[in-house]
Amino acid sequence: NNPIPANLKSEAKKAGKILREFTEISNRMGPDKLIPAHVIAKAQGLAILSVFKAGFMITARGGSGIVIARLADGRWSAPSAIGIAGLGGGFEIGLESSDFVIILNQRRAVDAFSKGGNLTLGGNCTVAVGPLGRNLEADVAFRSTAAVYSYCKSRGLYAGVSLVGSYLIERKETNRKFYGQDIRASAILNGDVEPPPEAYDLYTILQDYTEKYTTDWQLKHMQASSKVTFCALLKLKLKLKLAK
């Protein structure tokens, strides 16, 4: 996916495509490589980006994407355009393009993304590698949730693009052109503008994946409840038999 900054309509379309690649089984992404449904279902926000990294002695990172937040009524906010930039050292030669889905697990992480100005990933915003796989048991293992999870899919000569030390930038002019007014990221992510139809595909993926988690959770607990009921009936039957 193209990491060159584009208008918000194109960024929303790209975000939907990236998220679909992280949540649907394909030839490249088996079920053990997907973002767990419960991670999406419980997220307070998401940042979805495409990033390039190029280097010869000194490396440079750049890219673009969007950030959205879950509103108080459970809906998703309209998207706010963001950019990313950074420099790194070390002897690295090559060029790489990567797609990122950053899960904002806590409201304070959403607030950090919505304040405007520069946000340093790995500095004032600590990022952890998120759990993978569709197994609901992962829900138990990750109850102690990091504020931010990062998922990455890379193509190129590097082993992987790290976002540590990168700066996230609010693209105010891109937001202004799309929404037709001067509006800050905080207002967008707080629901001051309606979710646009241009992001429909992204919202559909999020809703479908959330419903999948809900369905799986209900099925799991129905099965557990059935087992408990069956065991209780067996015990009752045994007691009645012994009483005779």
pLDDT digits (tens, 9 = 90+) for 125-164: 667 777 776 544 444 444 456 788 888 887 654 444 567 7
Instruction: Say if residue 119's pLDDT is above 90.
Output: no
**Predicted TM-score (pTM) of this structure:** 0.79
CA angle, 24 then 65 then 133, to 5°: 25
Residue 218 pLDDT level (bands cut at 50, 70, 90): very low
Which residue, among 165, 148, 147, has the nearest Cα to 51 in the 3D structure? Answer: 165
The pLDDT assigned to 221 comes to 44
pLDDT band at 241 (very low <50, low <70, confident <90, very high): low
First to last CA, the chain: 73
Nearest to 49 by CA among 161, 129, 133, 143: 161
Using CA atoms, how far apart are residues 173 and 58, in angstroms rounded to an integer? 30
Residue 141: other Cβ atoms inside 10 A: 9
Average pLDDT over residues 82-104: 81
pLDDT digits (tens, 9 = 90+) for 37-60: 889 989 999 999 999 887 777 778
Exposed / middle / buried, residue 183 (Cβ in 10 Å: 0-12, 13-18, 19+): middle
Domain boundaries, the chain: 8-243
The arithmetic mean of pLDDT across residues 77-105, rounded, is 84
Cβ(39)–Cβ(149) under 8 Å?
A: yes
Indicate the residue type of 2. N
Who has greater pLDDT, 106 or 221? 106
Measured between alpha carbons, how far is 149 from 129 in angstroms, rounded to an integer?
5
pLDDT at 161: 52
Q: What does the pLDDT read at residue 34?
A: 85
Most confident option among 31-35, 131-135, 142-146, 181-185: 181-185
